[in-house]
Amino acid sequence: MPRTILESDWKRFKEVRQKALNRHCRLTLEHLAEIASEGIQDSHKSYLAAYEYMQTRDREVAQTFNDFRRSTAINQLMLMQNLGLLSEEDIDGFSEDI
């Protein structure tokens, strides 16, 4: 059975989750801009690369940020950490339980 988290950790999670989601989207958009700029010679190849990249990133968003509940918060934090979306500052402020 999934663990529930403390109210203070839940409030912190909601803040950190939003920051991490924004980071993920910003990094995705930056990489898409790189893909697009490389497509000057072959736009179709760039389009296909961008499409494939977006599919991957969309799966990451779904797995990491959807199903927003207390019972999934710890797992989602681990996924965010694995994707490199959390800073030390983000992690600080959670209880020892997290």
Domain count of the chain? 1
Give the integer Cα–Cα distance in Å for 41 and 20. Answer: 34
Q: What is the maximal distance between C-alpha atoms in the chain?
A: 54
What is the model's pLDDT at position 4? Answer: 76
- pLDDT tens figures, 37-95: 876 678 888 899 999 999 999 999 999 999 999 999 999 999 999 999 999 999 998 99
Q: Is residue 18 part of a domain?
A: no
Q: Is residue 40 part of a domain?
A: yes
Q: Is residue 20 part of a domain?
A: no
Instruction: Tell me the pTM.
Output: 0.87
Q: Is residue 6 part of a domain?
A: no
Q: Is residue 43 part of a domain?
A: yes
- Write out the residue range of the structural domain in which residue 64 sits: 25-91
